[in-house]
A = this chain, B = another copy of it.
Amino acid sequence: MTTICVLCGGVGAARFLRGLLRVVPPSDITAIVNTADDMRLHGLAISPDLDTCTYTLAEVINPETGWGLVGETWQAKETLDRYGGQTWFGLGDRDLGTHLYRTQRLDEGATLADVTREITAAWDLELNVLPMSNDSVRTRVTLTSGETIDFQRYFVERQHADAVRHVEFAGADRARPAPGVLAAIQNADCVVIAPSNPFVSIDPILSVPGIRDAVVQRRERNVAISPIVGGGAVKGPAADLMRSFGHEVSAAGVAALYQPLAAHLVIDTVDDHLAPAVSETGMTPHVTNTMMTAIDVTTALAEFTIATVDPTASRSV
């Protein structure tokens, strides 16, 4: 048995997990998901990255939007529009049911991990999906204008168009890893840092006391997948943030960031020429197609990724 633990943001991580499920039995996979993007809106507890992972793996993600549920309708939003309510964060009618359920269960005293287990089970997912923490951690983005705003305001409402000075994870210092998180990291045969945003998806997970240490301590059996391909982000503001924070926007820049965390870095074939620069940081580069545009590519990427740590690990399931 080869057990895999994946540190996850949203879309990129969800796609990677979809491939991983084709090469490792679900019971051997633990996904630890960023919850610093979570928010309360309209009184509802919304966990975007958890839901993106769940919906993607359940094959019910909305292909038109990349988030929310397939077959979505927008009746609640139309009523909100009538009132001049806040509609910048898209909440489809089907998707609302998930937020209603989560909110009710949290109000009843369930933990976010409890609710996540219930929701993933209801979608017949067999892998172990864990929020990074049951405690509230919130990514706050300080813009170069000096204004500090919640992550979803930056990411969704303003379409991550603002220049960012820094990000912080409010509440992280008091947060505890969700039950099972540290053990999953410590006991996995391979820890994968998914191709997610280093600053606003992976860093918040590592900001929960205990998690970074647990990852660093087993560096030799950890592998990251570069979210930067050909000098740009596959999706989202990762490239802009790297630039803002003074890092080289390349797979080599990612290596410089991730080298304390993992011995291995998977980079795209277009970045083949950067392999020496990656090596210079102390990470071992591994080159393959990382563009998860089709499930076969994604499956091959998953197999390739875990083989960087243990060449005998993967097999088709």
Nearest Cβ in chain B — how far from A111, in angstroms? 16
Residue of B with least CB distance to A69: B79
One complex includes copies of this chain to the number of: 2
A118 / chain B contacts, CB cutoff of 8 Å? 83-84
Contact assessment for A83 and B107 in the assembled complex, using a CB-CB cutoff below 8 Å: no
A42 / chain B contacts, CB cutoff of 8 Å? 44, 99-101, 103-104
Q: In this assembly, does A78 line the interface, its C-beta being within 8 Å of a C-beta of chain B?
A: yes
Nearest Cβ in chain B — how far from A214, in angstroms? 31
Q: In this assembly, does A80 line the interface, its C-beta being within 8 Å of a C-beta of chain B?
A: yes
Q: In this assembly, does A122 line the interface, its C-beta being within 8 Å of a C-beta of chain B?
A: yes
Q: In this assembly, does A75 line the interface, its C-beta being within 8 Å of a C-beta of chain B?
A: yes
Residue of B with least CB distance to A79: B97
Q: In this assembly, does A96 line the interface, its C-beta being within 8 Å of a C-beta of chain B?
A: yes
Q: In this assembly, does A248 line the interface, its C-beta being within 8 Å of a C-beta of chain B?
A: no
Nearest Cβ in chain B — how far from A112, in angstroms? 14
Q: In this assembly, does A86 line the interface, its C-beta being within 8 Å of a C-beta of chain B?
A: yes
Contact assessment for B73 and A96 in the assembled complex, using a CB-CB cutoff below 8 Å: no
Contact assessment for B119 and A100 in the assembled complex, using a CB-CB cutoff below 8 Å: no
What band does the interface of chain A fall in when counting residues whose beta carbon is under 8 Å from B? 35 or more
Q: In this assembly, does A82 line the interface, its C-beta being within 8 Å of a C-beta of chain B?
A: yes
Q: In this assembly, does A148 line the interface, its C-beta being within 8 Å of a C-beta of chain B?
A: no
A45 / chain B contacts, CB cutoff of 8 Å? 43
A295 / chain B contacts, CB cutoff of 8 Å? none
Residue of B with least CB distance to A44: B43
A94 / chain B contacts, CB cutoff of 8 Å? 75-76, 78-79
Q: Is the interface of A mostly helix, strand, loop or mixed?
A: helix
0 or 1 for each of A62-102: is its CB under 8 Å from B? (1 = yes): 00000001001101111111111110000111111111110
Nearest Cβ in chain B — how far from A153, in angstroms? 14
0 or 1 for each of A145-179: is its CB under 8 Å from B? (1 = yes): 00000000000000000000000000000000000
Q: In this assembly, does A41 line the interface, its C-beta being within 8 Å of a C-beta of chain B?
A: yes
A85 / chain B contacts, CB cutoff of 8 Å? 97, 100-101, 104
Q: In this assembly, does A40 line the interface, its C-beta being within 8 Å of a C-beta of chain B?
A: yes
Q: Knowing A44-B44, A83-B119, A85-B100, say if A93 contacts B76 (CB, 8 Å).
A: yes
Bound together, the chains give a CA A233 to CA B45 distance in angstroms of 41
Instruction: Among A76, A96, A123, find the residue whose CB has the most chain B CB atoms closer than 10 A.
Output: A76
Bound together, the chains give a CA A75 to CA B69 distance in angstroms of 11
Contact assessment for B96 and A43 in the assembled complex, using a CB-CB cutoff below 8 Å: no
Residue of B with least CB distance to A92: B75
Nearest Cβ in chain B — how far from A119, in angstroms? 6
Q: Knowing A43-B45, A104-B43, say if A98 contacts B79 (CB, 8 Å).
A: yes
Contact assessment for A97 and B80 in the assembled complex, using a CB-CB cutoff below 8 Å: yes
The 21 listed contacts between A and B (C-beta, < 8 Å) are A42-B100, A42-B101, A43-B103, A43-B104, A43-B106, A44-B100, A69-B79, A73-B93, A75-B94, A76-B94, A76-B100, A78-B97, A79-B95, A79-B97, A81-B97, A82-B122, A83-B97, A85-B100, A85-B104, A91-B100, A93-B93
Q: What are the 3 A-B residue pairs with the smallest beta carbon separation, nearest first?
A: A79-B97, A43-B103, A42-B100
